């Protein structure tokens, strides 16, 4: 990302700092330290441990069939290691870092996040950690992370930085619910909302790297390359230009393929946030959340150089 941003601290944070964030590692620790118990009590494990119950809920919601045979194989493979081997294994080391990371997250990351939220907005949510489930992470009312997913590259800070991103989405939703105006439900507003929502959460997580460094995060690598940032703006401009001129299903596919999978929404949106934050300040950036995506684009376009604008 071009330039530097000074980390900002809001003076009145009491409401946000009182957020009730459940940081639950029970399911993960049970696998790491008692895999034989997990195998012997499979149904109890999947019904009594929230991370597993939420994973079943996720699978039902997305119509995904969990491969329990594969899950058992992973647990069995882990159980065959000796206690000493497991103790020295990177999986155990990463688990310890996640458990220890709770204190760091609550002491440092939560106040940092609150600096990007109104003082009366909380982020109450449960965050659950497990391993060997199909997705690397998902959010469905609660947030669940698969610590063993290869996506994290054995770097727990990647997980905790992603948690910053996801918790900011929670804060944004609470802002809109408490202070927001109802936006029209039309294709253009959906595109703009995605750019704003993913952009600001990515921007906040990018700036949280002094707490949880994630140098190999794909979005952050893209944000640090000016040519890639320019290409993402071109792609967003192209998507906006097609609203109303192509069928809605084609627009949705283009939005998903280019904006989400291709990360154009995340990277361009984050750069827009940096411009607003740098030129107008944190309060203006926060105000764009409850005033909605069209206001977000209007504020950005007023500040951006002519060639960098995203005209509607």
Residue 101 lies in a domain: yes
Within this chain, do residues 88 and 166 fall inside the same structural domain, yes or no? yes
Residue 278 lies in a domain: yes
Within this chain, do residues 165 and 204 fall inside the same structural domain, yes or no? no
**Which of the listed residues 160, 179, 198 is the one where a domain comes to its end?**
179
Within this chain, do residues 37 and 168 fall inside the same structural domain, yes or no? yes
Residue 4 lies in a domain: no
Q: In this model, does residue 10 exceed pLDDT 70? A: no
Segment 38-66 shows an average pLDDT of 96
Segment 219-235 shows an average pLDDT of 97
Residue 45 lies in a domain: yes
Residue 283 lies in a domain: yes
Share of the chain above pLDDT 70, in %: 95
Q: What is the CA radius of gyration of the chain?
A: 21
Within this chain, do residues 31 and 157 fall inside the same structural domain, yes or no? yes
Within this chain, do residues 71 and 170 fall inside the same structural domain, yes or no? yes
Segment 241-268 shows an average pLDDT of 96
Residue 38 lies in a domain: yes
Position with higher pLDDT, 7 vs 101: 101
**Which of the listed residues 179, 198, 221 is the one where a domain comes to its end?**
179
Buried b (16+ CB within 10 A) or exposed e, 159-194: bbbbbbbbbbbbbbbbbbeeeeeebeeeebebbbbb
Within this chain, do residues 46 and 73 fall inside the same structural domain, yes or no? yes
Within this chain, do residues 61 and 171 fall inside the same structural domain, yes or no? yes
For residue 240, the enclosing domain spans 187-308
Segment 222-229 shows an average pLDDT of 98
User: Which pLDDT score, from 0 to 100, does residue 182 have?
Assistant: 74
Residue 56 lies in a domain: yes
Greatest alpha-carbon span in the chain: 64
**CA angle in degrees (0–180, nearest 5) for 250-256-261:** 145
Within this chain, do residues 191 and 73 fall inside the same structural domain, yes or no? no
Residue 2 lies in a domain: no
Quick: pLDDT tens for 107-128.
Answer: 999 999 999 998 889 899 999 9
Within this chain, do residues 202 and 257 fall inside the same structural domain, yes or no? yes
Within this chain, do residues 217 and 296 fall inside the same structural domain, yes or no? yes
Within this chain, do residues 147 and 45 fall inside the same structural domain, yes or no? yes
User: Which pLDDT score, from 0 to 100, does residue 181 have?
Assistant: 66
Q: What is the mean pLDDT of the chain?
A: 92
Q: In this model, does residue 50 exceed pLDDT 50? A: yes
User: Which pLDDT score, from 0 to 100, does residue 52 have?
Assistant: 98
Quick: pLDDT tens for 146-202.
Answer: 999 999 999 999 999 999 999 999 999 898 888 766 777 899 999 999 999 999 999
| Structural domain count, the chain | 2
Quick: pLDDT tens for 59-92.
Answer: 999 999 999 999 999 999 999 999 999 999 999 9
Q: In this model, does residue 285 exceed pLDDT 60? A: yes
Within this chain, do residues 219 and 160 fall inside the same structural domain, yes or no? no
Query: pTM for the whole thing?
Result: 0.88
Segment 232-244 shows an average pLDDT of 97
User: Which pLDDT score, from 0 to 100, does residue 119 have?
Assistant: 85
Quick: pLDDT tens for 258-284.
Answer: 999 999 999 999 999 999 999 999 999
For tokens 């997705």, what's the residue?
Answer: 135
């Amino acid at each position: 990302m071009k330039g530097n941003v000074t980390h900002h601290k809001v003076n009145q944070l009491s409401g946000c700092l009182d957020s009730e964030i459940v940081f639950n590692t029970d399911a993960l620790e049970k696998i790491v330290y008692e895999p034989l118990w997990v195998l012997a009590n499979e149904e109890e494990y999947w019904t009594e441990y929230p991370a597993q119950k939420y994973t079943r809920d996720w699978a039902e919601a997305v119509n995904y069939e969990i491969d329990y045979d594969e899950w058992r194989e992973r647990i069995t493979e882990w159980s065959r290691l000796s206690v000493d081997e497991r103790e020295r294994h990177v999986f155990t080391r990463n688990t310890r870092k996640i458990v220890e990371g709770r204190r760091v997250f609550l002491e440092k990351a939560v106040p940092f996040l609150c600096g990007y939220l109104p003082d009366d907005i909380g982020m109450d949510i449960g965050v659950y950690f497990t391993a060997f489930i199909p997705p690397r992470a998902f959010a469905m009312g609660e947030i669940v992370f698969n610590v063993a997913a290869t996506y994290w590259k054995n770097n727990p800070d990647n997980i905790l930085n992603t948690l910053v991103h996801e918790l900011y989405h929670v804060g944004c939703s609470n802002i809109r619910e408490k202070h927001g105006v109802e936006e029209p439900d039309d294709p253009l507003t959906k595109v703009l909302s995605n750019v704003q929502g993913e952009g600001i959460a990515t921007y906040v997580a990018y700036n949280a790297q002094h707490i949880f460094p994630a140098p190999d995060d794909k979005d952050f690598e893209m944000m640090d390359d000016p040519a890639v940032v320019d290409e993402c703006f071109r792609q967003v401009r192209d998507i906006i230009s097609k609203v109303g001129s192509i069928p809605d299903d084609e627009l949705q596919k283009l939005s998903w393929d280019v904006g989400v999978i291709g990360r154009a929404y995340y990277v361009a949106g984050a750069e827009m946030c940096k411009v607003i934050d740098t030129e107008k300040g944190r309060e203006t950036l926060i105000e764009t959340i409850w005033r909605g995506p069209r206001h977000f684009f209007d504020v950005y376009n007023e500040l951006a150089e002519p060639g960098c604008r995203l005209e509607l």
